[in-house]
Amino acid sequence: MPNATHQAIDDSLVDREQRHLNYLRISITDRCNLRCLYCVPDGRIPRLSHDQILSYEEILRIVHVGIRLGIQKVRITGGEPLVRNGAIDLLRRLTAIPELKDISLTTNGVLLEANAQRIFDAGIRRINISLDSLKRERYAHITGYDMFDRVWAGIQRAHAIGFSPIKINAVAMRGINDDEIVDFGRLSLAYPFHIRFIEYMPIGNSRTSSQDQILTPEIQERISTALGELIPVENGRNDGPARRFRIAGAPGEIGFISALSHHFCSQCNRLRLTADGKLRACLLSDHYEPSGKFSEAVAPMSS
Ligand code: SAM
């Protein structure tokens, strides 16, 4: 492993569009314990074998190279990150890296209740939990598994432990869960959660179609009609593409990630590292670079 005392060269990852890439999303596994309609095709899907996925040592090495190029923020995702053995240990090793200003986790929450305290003790405070329905049967329909109660218990546990912010990500789909938009919005009145509506993106071989899309303006209209004006909340510099709002008096927020109706490509600051070590600049493009290229871009490593 390289020595961890790298000097950060802030903002040196600047692409042709003059975007400063300082945020690395790392998928630590392609495996998942859910089969969401919009994410997983029907039937068996090929899985990477154990020796195809990056080891934790390799991931950490890439993170250290990234830091030298200006990466300041890391998110651990998947697949479902918590299904991979040792994921929490990786989180602990990442939070020990002083150059990283922000380390967060995206999970479907199925394994959260059992692991929330260990994740917190590993130093993670920011957590995103995917939840596309507040109804048990519908949740099972969307995800393929009757896990709503477990996920909700995980969210409550994370809240009790003190994670903040807790972001709840809901992919809005017409005819599938759009009748719950206001209920999701209402959660922000009851809890300090950040509810984020994600526009469904027609990527991969999902079992949903573009007819299922429901765009942000319509979601906003439905929420403000039912719950009151959406008051804008200012985004911080590293906040990413969500446009944030609050209903007067609410402890929580409502945000919108609008890849379709409000392109945020010009502000994108992300790189993605896939479980098998590919670096992708854009979710919507098949283009990738092997992550080894990352290390070629900086002076030779000390090991
Ligand atoms: N298993 C973790 C989870 O469920 O949060 C992390 C991986 S999951 C692929 C990351 C996020 O991508 C989830 O919030 C999911 O809802 C979202 N997502 C997946 N496919 C999508 C699509 N076609 N359109 C919009 N969001 C999508």
Angle between helices 87-95 and 56-68 (to 10 degrees): 30
Residue written as tokens 């871009």?
A: 297
| Cβ 208 under 6 angstroms from ligand 1 | no
- The crossing angle, in degrees rounded to 10, of helices 87-95 and 112-121 is 30
Per-residue tokens: 34: 């859910």
Helix (H) or strand (E) holding 56: helix 56-68
Distance of alpha carbon 199 from alpha carbon 258, whole angstroms: 5
The yes-or-no verdict on residue 54 having pLDDT over 90 is yes
Name the residue with higher pLDDT: 233 or 267.
233
Cross-strand pairs, 107:
129
pLDDT of 4 over the 60 cut: no
Residue-level length of the chain = 303
Which single residue is written with the structure tokens 């090929």? 46
Which residue from 273, 282, 297 is spatially nearest to 53, judged by alpha carbons? 273
Nearest CA owner, ligand 1 atom 15: 130
- Of 57-66, 119-128, 234-243, least confident by mean pLDDT is 234-243
Query: Closest Cα to residue 244, out of 254, 258, 236?
Result: 254
Pairing of strands 230-233, 243-247: antiparallel
Question: Percentage of residues in the chain with pLDDT exceeding 90?
Answer: 69
Residue 224: is it exposed, middle or buried by C-beta count within 10 angstroms (0-12/13-18/19+)?
Answer: middle
- Which residue, among 22, 21, 27, 60, has the nearest Cα to 274 in the 3D structure? 27
**Residues 83-114: b if buried by 16+ CB within 10 A, e if exposed:** bbeebbebbbbbeeeebbeebbbbbbbbbbbe
Q: Is 258 in the pocket of ligand 1 (CB under 6 A)?
A: no
Respond yes or no on whether the N-terminal peptide bond of residue 290 is cis (omega within 30° of 0): no
pLDDT at 136 over 50: yes
Please tell me the distance between residue 1's alpha carbon and the centre of ligand 1 in angstroms: 32
Burial class (CB in 10 A: 0-12, 13-18, 19+), 49: exposed
Write down all domains in the chain, each with its CATH number in brackets.
Answer: 8-295 (3.20.20.70)
Which residue has the CA at smallest separation from atom 17 of ligand 1?
Answer: 171
pLDDT tens for 171-230 read: 999 999 999 999 999 999 999 999 999 999 877 666 767 778 899 999 999 999 999 999
Pocket-testing residue among 107, 108, 171, ligand 1, by greatest number of atoms within 8 A of Cβ: 171
Whole-number Å distance between alpha carbons of 21 and 268: 8
The pLDDT value recorded for residue 209 is 72
How far is residue 103's CA from residue 125's CA, in Å, rounded to a whole number? 8
pLDDT at residue 8, as a whole number: 46
How far is 111 from 18, CA to CA, in rounded Å?
39
